[in-house]
């Protein structure tokens, strides 16, 4: 006698859902193993539970670094880099300076001074570029915002660029 079909939908009962997950995960790993043995295929399987626990299967054994281990190593490296960048940003913003020595504070001060010099230099370049564009730009004329201002002798007031 065969099994009847079940409706594929989320199992509401936590205990039943966990039991089903465990049984189906074991069955999936068994099928992956059988596929690798029968066909000489390289099979890799990663299952992540609702609690973020990973289960993996690799048919090649320890010959290769498992993809999930490689992803984990990359994630840890990126997390380390992110933490260091966050610390640097905090230091540049003047936050969390209590653990720094005098030498560290001097080095940070020098970095900030160099950054300020570069910013000032860039501002001067931009101002020069704008001044050089002057002849190529359209001629702007001062026009009264209201035509009746000229009649009232209030010139110089309410003018705008057109």
SS3 of the chain: helix, strand, coil, percent, to 5: 60, 10, 30
At residue 139, the pLDDT reads: 52
At residue 148, the pLDDT reads: 54
- pLDDT block averages, 10 residues each, the chain of length 162: 81 92 95 91 86 84 59 84 89 84 90 92 88 60 53 49 46
At residue 100, the pLDDT reads: 85
At residue 62, the pLDDT reads: 46
The model's pTM: 0.39
At residue 32, the pLDDT reads: 92
Residue showing tokens 């993996």: 56
């Amino acid at each position: 006698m065969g099994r009847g079909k079940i409706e594929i939908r989320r199992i509401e009962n936590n205990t039943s859902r966990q039991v089903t997950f465990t049984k189906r995960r074991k069955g999936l790993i068994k099928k992956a193993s059988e596929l690798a043995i029968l066909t000489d295929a390289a099979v890799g399987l990663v299952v992540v539970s609702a609690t973020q626990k990973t289960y993996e299967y690799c048919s090649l054994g320890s010959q290769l670094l498992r993809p999930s281990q490689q992803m984990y190593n990359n994630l840890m490296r990126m997390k380390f880099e992110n933490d260091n960048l966050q610390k640097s940003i905090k230091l540049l913003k003047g936050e969390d300076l209590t653990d720094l020595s005098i030498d560290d504070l001097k080095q940070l001060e020098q970095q900030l001074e160099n950054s300020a010099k570069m910013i000032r230099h860039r501002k001067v370049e931009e101002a020069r570029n704008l001044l050089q564009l002057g002849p190529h730009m359209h001629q702007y004329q001062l026009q009264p915002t209201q035509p009746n201002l000229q009649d009232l002798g209030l010139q110089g007031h309410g003018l705008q660029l057109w």
